């Protein structure tokens, strides 16, 4: 039993500030966050005029003005409402300084923050200010809290004896208390000194220094660690390190110590270029100390590469490759790149060319099997596919489609035969429809040629060298929709959708395709690892998704 004890604080912070969670926050969690209304004033707001309304005003030109009762002050994006505001002006010309002093409570809003406070002083020219007993809420993003004192600057905020949380208003699931919080506005991150992490008001974690993003900008640094214990690994500790290499490149390194196994090095590199995107990952354990692992080689490792690219307008390249050091790897290690329940690791590459009426692709596929089997699956190397489409033939009544494929099958076992398979599958279809329903008729021909070769072992069974298989198919599909407003409940429509299909394909003996040793066990042929059975889908053409076994049908 693998018991994983991750600190609640670590889990919450990691979830809240991951890139994936930020997308969810923008669509859901920001519903309760205030947003700036109106058009944001661009340029230097400090040069704009100040508008003030109040119940009472005492003005001593040009140095002082005192406003009392329902004071409403506006300047560009800034809006302040308070009980008492004193404005002072000192200096002359370019040396003029304008200060505003707020007393007895106020409500301040701009395009970045909302503030409720007791007393404050603002430099109306430089944006600098100081607020006491503040309750703040970031605008348009998660983040709110309280502070004994806030120092406001053009690109920073310093909060003394403050709290911070990204929970919605009236939700106090978690919070960080700190003796000082410094928010860097343009860089979109916050620094915490002597931070205490609280869950439902209960302290659960302390750190002398903590740094958190307060936006969607990536930053290099330590991510939240995870700790745990299991009977297999012992006590373990994993410390992810994030490296923001460039806007289109980043990496994560995550060394992991396991008391029963040793140090495991883990890394992941992600890239996004004009011609493609992908991910490279690796895991490496130099010497596995686990007693129950009895292999001669104590080195355990994994390599993973997933890539997708588009280039030269019509070309596509896809790679999905996973390789591990041994068959027990996913049984012994928890990994993001595979699972023991899969039973295999996929190793696949494909390059394709697309045009409106046709496309072709060259691919290769093999599997690393984790089960103990005497005969593994076949490799498909190479596989060449060509598809052609032509619609609206015969004055728009007929659509033509052609699927063709050439593939070579090989196997690690010398008992098994190898083969080339050439397959052509043309089809003609016509569709008729009106407001009552639709009728679709399709004829298809499966034409396949096998060039088989006996395995190199003296014990290998004989196979028929050349095999041809031709199977015609007819499918008639009728669908209609019967609707009525006369139902048990007013305002509802009852519909019946009859669907009838007739499918015919004659029987063909296919026992001479592939090895009887495999056929008797799986019944699929060369592409057994790629085949899926579908017994319960009524309207599928074929029972098997592979081409080596095409069953008869008259249903």
The whole-number pLDDT of residue 4 equals 42
Residue 25: what pLDDT?
41
pLDDT at residue 405, as a whole number: 97
**Amino acid 114: pLDDT:** 86
Mean pLDDT of 172-181: 88
pLDDT higher than threshold 50 for residue 6? no
| CA nearest neighbour of 360 among 389, 329, 394, 332 | 389
Lowest mean pLDDT among 159-168, 205-214, 483-492: 483-492
E strand intervals along 355-411: 358-369, 379-392, 398-410
Cβ atoms 36, 140 nearer than 8 A: yes
**Which segment, 35-44, 291-300, 437-446, 454-463, is predicted with the most confidence on average?**
437-446
pLDDT number for residue 1: 40
Lowest-pLDDT range, 249-258, 371-380, 434-443? 371-380
**What is the Cα 388 distance to its own chain's centre?**
33
How far CA 150 is from CA of 35, 66, 185, 191, 288, in Å, comes to 21, 24, 14, 14, 53
Question: How high is the pLDDT of residue 528?
Answer: 66
Least confident of 149-158, 244-253, 433-442: 149-158
CB neighbours of 146 closer than 8 A, spacing ≥ 6? 134, 135, 136, 162, 163
Give the pLDDT of residue 213.
Answer: 77
Query: What pLDDT, on the 0 to 100 scale, is given for residue 382?
Result: 95
User: What pLDDT does 11 receive?
Assistant: 39
Report, as an integer, the average pLDDT of 166-193.
Answer: 85
Higher pLDDT, 205 or 257: 257
Q: Which residue has the higher pLDDT, 324 or 526?
A: 324
Q: Quick one: which of 327, 366, 326 has its CA closest to 346?
A: 366
| Residue 13, H or E segment | helix 8-16
Please give the helix or strand (H or E) that residue 117 lies within, else none. strand 113-117
Pair 491, 539: CB distance under 8 Å: no
Q: Region 398-425: what's the mean pLDDT?
A: 94
Mean per-residue pLDDT, 424-440: 93
| Upstream peptide bond of 62 is cis (omega within 30 degrees of 0) | yes
Percentage, residues of the chain above pLDDT 90: 40
Angle at 168 between CA 165 and CA 172, to 5 degrees: 60
Write down the pLDDT at residue 321.
97
CA–CA separation, 471 vs 407, rounded Å? 20
pLDDT for res 108: 85
Residue 279 has pLDDT above 90, yes or no: yes
Tokens 């068959």 correspond to 327
Domain boundaries, the chain: 2-37+48-220, 221-341, 373-555
pLDDT on residue 396? 87
16 has pLDDT over 50:
no
Name 137's Cβ contacts closer than 8 Å, sequence gap at least 6.
33, 34, 113, 114, 143, 144, 169
Q: N- to C-terminal Cα distance for the chain?
A: 50
Write out pLDDT tens, residues 327-373: 889 988 989 999 878 888 999 999 999 999 999 999 999 999 888 87
Q: Express each pLDDT in 487-511 by its tens digit.
A: 667 778 888 899 999 999 999 998 8
Percentage with pLDDT > 70 across the chain: 89
* CA 233 centroid distance within chain: 29
What are the tens digits of pLDDT across the range 59-88? 887 788 888 988 888 888 888 898 898 888
Please identify which residue in the block is written with the tokens 């004896």: 161
What pLDDT, in 10s, does the model give residues 212-250?
A: 777 777 888 888 889 999 888 999 999 999 999 999 999
pLDDT score, position 340: 79
pLDDT at 140 over 90: no
Q: Which of 188-192, 212-216, 386-390: highest mean pLDDT? A: 386-390
Instruction: Read off the pLDDT band of 259 (50, 70, 90).
Output: very high
CB-based burial label for 518 (10 Å; 0-12, 13-18, 19+): buried
What is the gyration radius of the CA atoms in the chain, in angstroms? 35
pLDDT surpassing 60 at residue 27: no
């Amino acid at each position: 039993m693998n018991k994983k004890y991750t600190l609640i604080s670590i889990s919450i912070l990691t979830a809240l500030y991951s890139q994936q969670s930020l997308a969810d926050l923008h669509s859901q969690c920001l519903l309760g966050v205030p947003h700036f209304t109106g058009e944001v004033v661009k340029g230097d707001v400090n040069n704009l005029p100040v508008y003030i309304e109040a119940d009472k005003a005492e003005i001593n030109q040009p140095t002082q003005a005192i406003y009392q009762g329902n004071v409403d002050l506006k300047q560009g994006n800034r809006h302040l409402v308070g009980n008492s505001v004193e404005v002072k002006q000192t200096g002359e010309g370019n040396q003029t300084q304008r200060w505003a002093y707020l007393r007895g409570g106020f409500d301040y809003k701009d395009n970045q923050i909302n503030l409720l406070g007791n007393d404050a002083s603002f430099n109306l020219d430089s944006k600098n200010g100081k607020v006491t007993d503040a309750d703040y809420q970031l605008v348009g993003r998660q983040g709110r809290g309280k502070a004994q004192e806030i120092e406001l600057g053009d690109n920073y905020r310093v909060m003394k004896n403050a709290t911070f949380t990204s929970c919605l208003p009236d939700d106090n699931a978690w919070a960080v208390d700190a003796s000082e919080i410094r928010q860097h506005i343009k860089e979109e991150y916050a620094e915490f000194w002597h931070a205490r992490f609280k869950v439902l008001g209960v302290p659960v974690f302390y750190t002398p220094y903590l740094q958190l993003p307060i936006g969607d900008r990536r930053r290099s640094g330590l991510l939240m660690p995870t700790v745990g214990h299991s009977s297999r690994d012992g006590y373990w500790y994993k410390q992810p390190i994030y490296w923001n290499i460039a806007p289109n490149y980043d990496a994560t390194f995550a060394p992991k110590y396991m008391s029963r196994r040793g140090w495991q090095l883990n890394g992941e590199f992600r890239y996004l270029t004009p011609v493609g995107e992908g991910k490279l990952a690796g895991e490496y354990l130099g010497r596995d100390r686990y007693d129950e692992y009895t292999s001669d080689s104590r080195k355990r490792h994994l390599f993973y590469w997933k890539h997708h690219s588009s280039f030269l307008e019509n070309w596509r390249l896809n790679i999905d490759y996973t390789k591990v050091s041994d068959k027990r790897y996913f049984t012994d290690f928890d990994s993001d790149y595979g699972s023991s329940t899969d039973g295999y690791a996929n190793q696949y590459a494909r390059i394709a060319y697309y045009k409106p009426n046709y496309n072709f692709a060259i691919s290769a596929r093999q599997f690393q099997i984790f089960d103990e089997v005497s005969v593994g699956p076949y490799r498909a190397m190479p596989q060449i596919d060509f598809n052609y489409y032509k619609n609206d033939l015969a004055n728009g009544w007929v659509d033509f489609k052609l699927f063709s494929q050439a593939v070579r099958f090989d196997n690690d076992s010398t008992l098994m035969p190898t083969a080339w398979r050439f397959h052509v599958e043309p089809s003609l279809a016509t569709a008729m429809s009106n407001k009552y329903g639709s009728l679709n008729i399709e004829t298809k021909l499966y034409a396949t040629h096998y060039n088989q070769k006996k395995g190199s072992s003296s014990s290998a069974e004989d196979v028929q060298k050349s095999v041809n298989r031709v199977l015609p198919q007819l499918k008639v599909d009728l669908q209609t929709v019967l609707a009525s407003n006369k139902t048990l409940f007013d305002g509802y429509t009852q519909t019946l959708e009859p669907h009838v299909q007739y499918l015919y394909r004659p029987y063909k003996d296919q026992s001479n395709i592939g090895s009887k040793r495999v056929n008797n066990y799986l019944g699929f042929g060369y592409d057994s690892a790629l085949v899926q059975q579908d017994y319960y889908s009524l309207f599928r053409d074929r029972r098997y998704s592979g081409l080596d076994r095409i069953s008869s049908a008259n249903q």
